[in-house]
């Protein structure tokens, strides 16, 4: 008789093997359930890792019905086996980013930064390079094209002698033969004045104190000094007349091809003919209709700088505070960026330099630049339109600007290829601070204290670290990333690491008490010689008493030139900011932002050194190719042709008419060019 099962379990020797078999049986029974359960969990985790790493293929759902514990249906997700990888946690693929924000290009010449956009300098450089390339490509290549382009731009025929002028530009490879809009800006309104009235005004103005008149009385004459009202002191007279002699010498090769004219020049650095906006607009409207204004009935008398602005200009809507005087002097510290209470304004950069210089669009210029600051609300404009030439002029003045040879230096001083210091390469310029040395010109330093807000004083204050503890700086980023909001950084750390900006020598242009005050306010360092200055990658150019006469030398140097100015010049349309130089606002509000973008923060992080080197090289090449003596001659030659016509009582007869037969263009142009080729060989 077989013993019952429970009696077997009572035997101690058989109890353990039976328990083991029982456990194995239970595990085998539930194994299928456990396999499905564990598969689902592990596979889901594998999928999670795979797709978190950006990999994996789309899964497919397979439904299998199994009887598990009698009734359960299991749904399993199958995914192809992942490809072998060295890293289970493979690098996450970049997800598509939202489009970057757009910056605002304002009509006042400034770009307003959108923190959601890329760093604006990337865009400013790219746009400027494209526009410059388009300008070069569109340049006229024949006399017929140039004459047609002239008429298209200005609505009139070119001046008589335009054909020989064109031949001069061709023989001497003067680039951009169409880009002389500045001449039209300076002369167009005179077409709305009867030339007989203009000649009378010009003759009377020759008696104006501190002036000289150059020109010629007959067609075959050379250019000479015809009149002057300079001081009796011969040394002073020679100093003031130096510009006249340089212009006469410059024009020697072309002087006999210019019609008779008389041009009155002011020998001073500053302009003196404040524009009457209404009078100028009346003259331009008359010129467009082919009529003349009535000089006996000018518009109502106006006063101050705002007379030069449109009635809807921002300056008219934002009147200036009363100027400081001896009774209420300015005793505060000079203004520097980031030193005002309240929310900081949005970051801005210059995208068009000419409107950025205009006080009508930027009324703060009137109380922060030496061209305007000493005169308070400003002088009253003249009641007539006066044809006077001045060495420099602002957007609020109507003086005619020439292309001066003053302080011009040839292209071989300095540039790469010469022994140091003229020939430093970009890599050999080891000092990455922004360099500036200069004197405290630009304003008379009087008791009223207005000088504390002048452009050079504010620059020296910035370089000295004057201001609050922190300053707001827009940090450099990669091209594809938003630039973000400006960051507050320690002013002292950034100024000391990034700037080598200071006055040189000793105070000047000041009353004795103000000179002593200036000595204590700033550190007066030694000037830099050529070898020392040549080691800096970044150099700043600013205005003095007038325009900066050192700009040509700086552009030759091969450093990257930062330029802050309030004076549009003859070459403003013939060069490009962000291609040949870096434009800086007169407030210097963007100075640290721009510098940090190119050279990086104090540790050098975020630098764009290659872009800086490219602009520096393009600037030096521009100076070599676009600012030669021949380019000065071409500008002055055309300016005097235009001036001679607008002053003539026979303006129509003083115009150039293109011949009709275009089949002979090449032959005729070749003969015109031979005129200058023979002239040049004969002079040699």
Share of the chain above pLDDT 90, in %: 75
Looking at residue 65, what is its pLDDT? 42
Question: With 60 as the cut, is the pLDDT of residue 252 above it?
Answer: yes
Question: With 60 as the cut, is the pLDDT of residue 5 above it?
Answer: no
Question: With 80 as the cut, is the pLDDT of residue 90 above it?
Answer: no
Tokens found for residue 317: 């809507």
Buried b (16+ CB within 10 A) or exposed e, 199-227: eebbeebbeeeebbbbbbeeeeeebeebe
The angle subtended at Cα 512 by Cα 509 and Cα 514, nearest 5°, is: 70
Looking at residue 126, what is its pLDDT? 98
Return the HEC string of 216-241. Answer: ECCCCCCCEEEEECCCCCHHHHHHHH
Find residue 582's DSSP bridge partners: 562
Domain membership of residue 488 (yes or no) is: yes
Question: With 50 as the cut, is the pLDDT of residue 37 above it?
Answer: no
Whole-number Å distance between alpha carbons of 69 and 565? 89
Nearest Cα residue to 483 out of 118, 105, 111: 118
Question: With 70 as the cut, is the pLDDT of residue 44 above it?
Answer: no
The stretch 416-439 carries a mean pLDDT of 82
Domain membership of residue 44 (yes or no) is: yes
Distances (CA, A) of 54 to 50, 79, 83, 98: 7, 15, 12, 19
Looking at residue 69, what is its pLDDT? 39
Per the document, the length of the chain is 684
User: Residue 373: which pLDDT band, with cuts at 50, 70 and 90?
Assistant: very high
Q: Mention every residue, 6+ apart, whose C-beta is less than 8 A from residue 162.
A: 146, 147, 150, 641, 656
Domain membership of residue 538 (yes or no) is: yes
Domain membership of residue 643 (yes or no) is: no
Which segment of 12-26, 273-287, 423-437, 652-666 scores lowest on mean pLDDT? 12-26
State the angle between helix axes of 162-171 and 665-683 in degrees (0 to 180), rounded to the nearest 10.
70
Average pLDDT across the chain, whole number: 87
User: Residue 408: which pLDDT band, with cuts at 50, 70 and 90?
Assistant: confident
The side-by-side arrangement of strands in the sheet containing 348-350 is 104-105, 110-112, 348-350
**The last residue of a domain, from among 78, 95, 112:** 78
Q: What is the tens place of the pLDDT at every residue in 187-220?
A: 999 999 999 999 999 999 999 999 999 999 999 8
Looking at residue 261, what is its pLDDT? 98
**The last residue of a domain, from among 604, 629, 654:** 629
Longest dimension (CA), the chain: 155
Question: With 60 as the cut, is the pLDDT of residue 683 above it?
Answer: no
Looking at residue 531, what is its pLDDT? 83
Find residue 524's DSSP bridge partners: 503
Share of the chain residues as helix, strand and coil, in percent rounded to the nearest 5:
40, 15, 45
The stretch 313-327 carries a mean pLDDT of 86
Q: Mention every residue, 6+ apart, whose C-beta is less than 8 A from residue 541.
A: 548, 550, 551, 554, 561, 562, 563, 564, 565
Question: With 90 as the cut, is the pLDDT of residue 12 above it?
Answer: no
Looking at residue 52, what is its pLDDT? 36
Question: With 80 as the cut, is the pLDDT of residue 131 above it?
Answer: yes
Q: What is the tens place of the pLDDT at every residue in 145-184?
A: 999 999 999 999 999 999 999 999 999 999 999 999 999 9
Q: What is the tens place of the pLDDT at every residue in 510-562?
A: 999 999 999 999 999 999 988 889 899 999 999 999 989 899 999 999 999 99
Positive or negative torsion for Cα 58, 63, 64, 70: positive
The angle subtended at Cα 374 by Cα 371 and Cα 377, nearest 5°, is: 95
Question: With 90 as the cut, is the pLDDT of residue 125 above it?
Answer: yes
The stretch 220-246 carries a mean pLDDT of 96
Distances (CA, A) of 655 to 147, 181, 482: 11, 18, 55
Tokens found for residue 468: 């609050």
**In this structure, are residues 582 and 561 in contact, taking their beta carbons and an 8 Å threshold?**
yes
Strands 582-583, 560-564: pairing is parallel
Domain membership of residue 374 (yes or no) is: yes
Looking at residue 678, what is its pLDDT? 66
Question: With 80 as the cut, is the pLDDT of residue 53 above it?
Answer: no
Looking at residue 91, what is its pLDDT? 42
Burial status of residue 297 (CB atoms within 10 A of its CB: 0-12, 13-18, 19 or more): exposed
Domain membership of residue 308 (yes or no) is: yes
Q: What is the tens place of the pLDDT at every residue in 656-671?
A: 999 999 998 999 999 9
Return the HEC string of 504-546. Answer: ECCCCCECHHHHHHHHHHCCEECCCCHHHHCCEEEEEEECCCC
Looking at residue 327, what is its pLDDT? 85
User: Residue 58: which pLDDT band, with cuts at 50, 70 and 90?
Assistant: very low
Q: Mention every residue, 6+ apart, whose C-beta is less than 8 A from residue 356.
A: 108, 109, 110, 350, 362, 583, 585
Distances (CA, A) of 542 to 154, 442, 682: 33, 10, 42
Looking at residue 14, what is its pLDDT? 55
Looking at residue 28, what is its pLDDT? 57
Distances (CA, A) of 601 to 478, 479, 481, 493: 14, 17, 18, 10
Task: Name the domain count of the chain.
Answer: 2
Question: With 60 as the cut, is the pLDDT of residue 118 above it?
Answer: yes
Whole-number Å distance between alpha carbons of 423 and 557? 8
Question: With 60 as the cut, is the pLDDT of residue 441 above it?
Answer: yes
Nearest Cα residue to 495 out of 516, 523, 515: 523
Return the HEC string of 79-90. Answer: CCCCCCCCCCCC
**The last residue of a domain, from among 78, 97, 112:** 78
Share of the chain above pLDDT 70, in %: 83
**In this structure, are residues 317 and 547 in contact, taking their beta carbons and an 8 Å threshold?**
no
Question: With 50 as the cut, is the pLDDT of residue 84 above it?
Answer: no
Looking at residue 418, what is its pLDDT? 60
Q: What is the tens place of the pLDDT at every residue in 507-518?
A: 999 999 999 999
Tokens found for residue 652: 């129509």
Question: With 50 as the cut, is the pLDDT of residue 621 above it?
Answer: yes
Domain membership of residue 172 (yes or no) is: no
State the residue range of the domain holding 24.
5-78
Burial status of residue 243 (CB atoms within 10 A of its CB: 0-12, 13-18, 19 or more): buried
Q: How many C-beta atoms lie closer than 10 Å to residue 623's C-beta? A: 26
Find residue 502's DSSP bridge partners: 437
Burial status of residue 434 (CB atoms within 10 A of its CB: 0-12, 13-18, 19 or more): buried
User: Residue 19: which pLDDT band, with cuts at 50, 70 and 90?
Assistant: low
Domain membership of residue 617 (yes or no) is: yes
Looking at residue 322, what is its pLDDT? 81
Q: Output the DSSP codes for 303-364.
A: -SGGGGS-TTSHHHHSPPPPPP-SSS---SPPP-TT-SSSSPPPPEEES-HHHHT-TTT-GG
């Amino acid at each position: 008789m077989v013993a019952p099962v429970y009696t077997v379990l009572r035997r101690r020797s058989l109890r353990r093997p039976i328990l083991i078999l029982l456990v194995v049986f239970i595990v085998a029974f539930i194994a299928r359930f456990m396999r499905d359960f564990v598969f689902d969990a592990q596979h889901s985790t594998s999928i999670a890792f795979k797709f978190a790493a950006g990999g994996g293929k789309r899964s497919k759902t397979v439904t299998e019905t199994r009887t598990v514990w009698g009734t359960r249906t299991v749904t399993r997700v199958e995914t192809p086996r992942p490809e072998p990888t060295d890293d289970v946690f493979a690098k996450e693929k970049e997800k598509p980013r939202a489009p970057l924000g757009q910056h605002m290009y304002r009509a006042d010449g400034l770009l307003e930064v959108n923190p959601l956009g890329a760093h604006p300098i990337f865009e400013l450089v790219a746009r400027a390079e494209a526009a410059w390339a388009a300008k070069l490509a569109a340049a006229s290549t024949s006399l017929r094209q140039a004459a047609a382009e002239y008429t298209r731009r200005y609505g009139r025929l070119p001046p008589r002698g335009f054909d020989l002028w064109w031949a001069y530009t061709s023989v001497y490879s003067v680039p951009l033969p169409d880009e002389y809009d500045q001449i039209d800006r300076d002369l167009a309104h005179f077409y709305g004045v009867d030339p007989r009235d203009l000649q009378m005004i010009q003759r009377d103005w020759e008696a104006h104190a501190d002036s000289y008149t150059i020109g010629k009385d007959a067609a075959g004459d050379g250019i000479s000094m015809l009149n002057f009202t300079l001081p009796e002191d011969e040394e002073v007279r020679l100093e003031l007349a130096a510009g006249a002699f340089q212009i006469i010498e410059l024009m020697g090769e072309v002087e006999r091809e210019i019609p008779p004219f008389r041009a009155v020049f002011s020998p001073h650095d500053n302009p003196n003919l404040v524009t009457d906006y209404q009078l100028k607009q009346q003259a331009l409207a008359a010129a467009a209709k082919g009529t003349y204004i009535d000089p006996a009935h000018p518009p109502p008398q106006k006063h101050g700088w705002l007379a030069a602005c449109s009635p809807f200009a921002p300056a008219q809507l934002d009147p200036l505070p009363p100027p400081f005087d001896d009774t209420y002097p300015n005793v505060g510290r000079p203004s520097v960026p980031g030193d005002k209470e309240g929310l900081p304004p949005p970051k801005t950069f210059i995208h068009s330099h000419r409107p950025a210089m205009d006080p009508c669009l930027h009324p703060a210029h009137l109380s922060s630049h030496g061209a305007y600051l000493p005169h308070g609300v400003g002088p009253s404009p003249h009641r007539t339109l006066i044809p006077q030439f001045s060495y420099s002029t602002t957007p609020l003045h109507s003086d005619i600007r020439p292309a001066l040879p003053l302080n011009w230096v040839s292209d071989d001083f300095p540039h790469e290829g010469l022994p140091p210091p003229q020939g430093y390469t970009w890599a050999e310029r080891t000092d990455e601070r922004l360099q500036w040395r200069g004197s405290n010109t630009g304003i008379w330093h009087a008791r009223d204290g207005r000088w504390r807000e002048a452009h050079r004083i504010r620059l020296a204050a910035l370089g000295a670290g004057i201001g609050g503890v922190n300053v707001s700086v827009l940090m450099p980023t990669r091209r594809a990333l938003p630039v973000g909001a400006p960051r507050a950084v320690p002013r002292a750390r950034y100024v000391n690491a990034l700037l080598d900006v200071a006055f040189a020598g000793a105070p000047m242009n000041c009353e004795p008490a103000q000179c002593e005050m200036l000595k204590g306010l700033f550190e007066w360092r030694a000037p830099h010689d050529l070898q020392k200055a040549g080691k800096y990658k970044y150099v700043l150019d600013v205005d003095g008493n007038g325009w900066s006469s050192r700009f040509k030398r700086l552009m030759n140097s091969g450093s990257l030139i930062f330029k802050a100015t309030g004076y549009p010049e003859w070459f403003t349309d013939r060069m490009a900011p962000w291609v040949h130089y870096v434009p800086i606002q007169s407030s210097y509000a963007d100075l640290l932002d721009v510098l940090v973008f190119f050279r990086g923060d104090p540790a050098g992080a975020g630098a764009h050194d290659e872009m800086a080197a490219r602009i520096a090289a393009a600037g030096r090449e521009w100076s070599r190719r676009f600012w030669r003596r021949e380019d000065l001659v071409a500008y002055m030659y055309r300016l005097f042709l235009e001036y001679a016509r607008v002053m003539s009582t026979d303006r129509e007869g003083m115009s150039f008419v293109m011949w009709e037969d275009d089949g002979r263009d090449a032959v005729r142009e070749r003969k015109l060019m031979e005129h200058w080729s023979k002239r040049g060989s004969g002079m040699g």
